[in-house]
Structure 1
């Protein structure tokens, strides 16, 4: 069975650093929003890191990211 962990990353001075990790999506996104609101970082993102011990395969998916500018919707 694959195991997932959520990492909160912060961007400052062009460097991404893992700030903290959480077992669930909701807690990690809540912390990311709080960090983003403090205005100390250039960006904050949450990455879901999934690892399958049977196959040794890992997969990372960005589930929250404040470093990207919002896209305009096409008409």
Structure 2
């Protein structure tokens, strides 16, 4: 009696074992933390380890072992690093402070100063003129005092 496609598929699935490794990055190498049979549990464990901020990176590796060929395949299904965490935090800060620029008026440009423009003229007498006037008035007053005293 020939086997149906469903029976062949079930037998093929039974000959494969799937496990999920949770690895952490420590001292410049990946370290195996635990092996789980449940994908969701492995992902939540990896996220919990990563959120503890004790590791610079965490990953989940799905390993599929084929009993028929006595071989296994590995595939990274989740990986995150400190750079990912920093990027997410920066993006959250950026969206929180983002301003609606649609109603913003364009900036007005300042007029450029050219070398042909006359420098601003000062109003009133210069310091040297004031000092000269002070000296003349002081000398006249001193001369007047000497003349009055001699009388």
Tell me the equivalent position of 2:24.
10
Residues 18-52 of structure 1 show CA distances to partners (whole Å, capped at 9, x for unaligned) of: 00011011000000000000000010000001100
The question of 1:61 aligning with 2:75 is answered: yes
Counterparts of residues 16-31 of structure 1 (less than 5 Å): 16-31=30-45
Mapped to 1, the partners of 2:81 and 2:32 lie a distance apart of 15
Unaligned runs of 5+ in 2: 1-14, 85-151
Q: TM-score, normalised by structure 2?
A: 0.44
Mapped to 1, the partners of 2:83 and 2:53 lie a distance apart of 16
More helix by share: 2
How many residues align? The count is: 70
Mapped to 2, the partners of 1:4 and 1:68 lie a distance apart of 28
Indicate the RMSD between aligned Cα atoms, in angstroms: 1.5
More strand by share: 1
Structure 1 residue ranges (4+ consecutive) displaced by more than 4 angstroms after TM superposition: none
Structure 1 pair 19/28, CA: closer, same or farther in 2 (3 Å)? same
